[in-house]
Amino acid sequence: MAEGWRFYSADFSVNSSEPSQRGNVMLIRDDHGRKWWHNLPEEKRDQVALLVTGHGMSVDEAVRDANAKAALAAAPTQQQEGEK
């Protein structure tokens, strides 16, 4: 998993009955990241992802997609923490 993120859920139920459909994997910020996110002003929470979803034909493909999206999401830094 991308640094600062952890596995949250996966759903391949549609993919199992309809192989042409992609499944998804969700990652959530780790404990530190969730606390940081919940301390953001409400208007900033609308702009910063708490969860990211990756899609793919396999779990590995969906995890890679979710990791790529997590890497693009703003990670909590000391500078951002000062914005509380």
How high is the pLDDT of residue 76?
A: 59
Q: How many residues does the chain have?
A: 84
How high is the pLDDT of residue 1?
A: 84
**Domain spans of the chain?**
5-77
The phi, psi pair for 51, rounded to 5°, reads: -125, 150
CA dist., res. 31 & res. 6, Å (int): 9
CA dist., res. 5 & res. 26, Å (int): 10
Say if pTM beats, i.e. exceeds, 0.75. yes
Ranges of residues in the chain whose predicted pLDDT is under 70? 74-84
- Across the chain, the runs of DSSP E, i.e. the strands, are 5-11, 23-29, 51-56
Q: Is 10 helix (H, G, I), strand (E, B) or coil?
A: strand
